[in-house]
Amino acid sequence: MSAAAIAERRFLQQQRCRILYRKSLKCVLDWAVHRDIFYIEAEKTRLQFEANRDLQNLETIDRLLFEGEARLAKFQHPDPYIVPWCPGGSKYARNPPVPPVIEVVNDFGRESSH
């Protein structure tokens, strides 16, 4: 494989690793709501990632990434925290604005133009 292809593959692996770390921290935050417990568990997660910091073999890294993603999939919280006003949250698009085309005419029973 050419050097550029190897560099590209490493870049993609680093990106996958960062996204895996992000998802695992969010998963830990879903489970460990109390902040002091979260910090302890997040530190443990970080140590797991740091243990594999200096690997060079592309195949090993790929295999570890797949295993990590599989382990993360088992730990997903059934009711994860989603910010309410962001897509997927309970308050997202709760009161959308009425389009200005629609006009409410209050004539209080005078039955003017029905």
Partner 1 sequence: MRHAVRALHSCVLRRLQVQVQLDLPLKASVTPATRWCRRMFSDEAHATHLDRGEVVARVLDVVKTHPKADPTKVTESASFQDVGLDSLDTVELVMSIEEEFAVAIPDAVADKISSCPEAIEYIASHPSAK
Does 109 engage in binding with partner 1 (CB under 8 A)? no
Choose one: 54-62, 66-74, 82-90, 103-111; the region binding partner 1 (CB under 8 A).
Answer: 82-90
- 45 Cβ contact list (under 8 Å, min separation 6): 21, 24, 25, 28
Q: Tell me the C-alpha distance between 31 and 114, whole Å.
A: 58
Write down the least CB distance from residue 75 to partner 1, Å.
Answer: 17
Does 77 engage in binding with partner 1 (CB under 8 A)? no
Write b or e for each residue in 54-69: b if 16 or more Cβ atoms lie within 10 A of its Cβ, otherwise e.
eeeeeeebeebbeebe
Does 11 engage in binding with partner 1 (CB under 8 A)? no
The site for partner 1 (CB under 8 A) is made up of: 14-15, 17-19, 21-23, 25-26, 42, 46, 49-50, 82-83, 85-89, 92-97, 99-101
